[in-house]
Amino acid sequence: MIGVVDYGGANHASVVNAVDNLGFDYFISDNKKSLDDAEKIILPGVGAAPNVMQQLQNKGLDTYLKLTGKPILGICIGMQIMYETSSEGNTDGLSIFDGKVKKFEPRTDKPVPHMGWNEVRFDKTYSDLNGYYYFANSYYADVSEQTTAISSYGDKFSAMTSIKNFTGVQFHPEKSGSLGYQFLQRFLSA
């Protein structure tokens, strides 16, 4: 059973559709007790860091997520809130990953938000899934020792970051076609 966290305004529909299409049972919840029934947890994408963190704090999910020990996948904003801070509203994150999430600097050839397909290069764990994935983001995290996949939008940034039971992806696997579904299948099946 997959628990999809509801923190208001998130992109639940496409995430649960992908999870369902892959044959996994799921539920959507903002409740710690019900999330205890999940084998894995997804923090879906789309939202603003200050609002998402406020919703998690209001429900006590900020501490719960850090301590649960269950595999957790953060997508887009779900990844960004796993960092120490975000420049979006100068927001404190969950401090799971080291570093700060920053806003892309707009360039003539690189408008912000960054929307579209970009190449992702994974480390050995997912290297067979290297290819193009869909992004929709204005914020990013620098490449670090915790980075497990890299993409580039003017400069290189973390497309995936992993430590212990936490995985965050800046791209949207649920909107990334066959490769995205393969990525989700591997995470959800592991």
Active-site positions read 76, 172, 174
Q: What is the CB neighbour count within 10 angstroms for residue 14?
A: 16
177-189 vs 12-21: helix axis angle to the nearest 10?
70
* Short-list 183, 142, 152, 151, CA closest to 42: 183
Q: Which contiguous run of DSSP H or E holds residue 26?
A: strand 26-29
> Is beta strand 91-92 parallel, antiparallel or unpaired with respect to 83-86?
antiparallel
Q: How far apart are CA 14 and CA 82, in angstroms?
A: 21
List, in sequence order, every beta strand (DSSP E) within 96-182: 97-103, 114-122, 131-137, 139-141, 147-153, 155-163, 166-169
- Tokens, residue 71: 């595999």
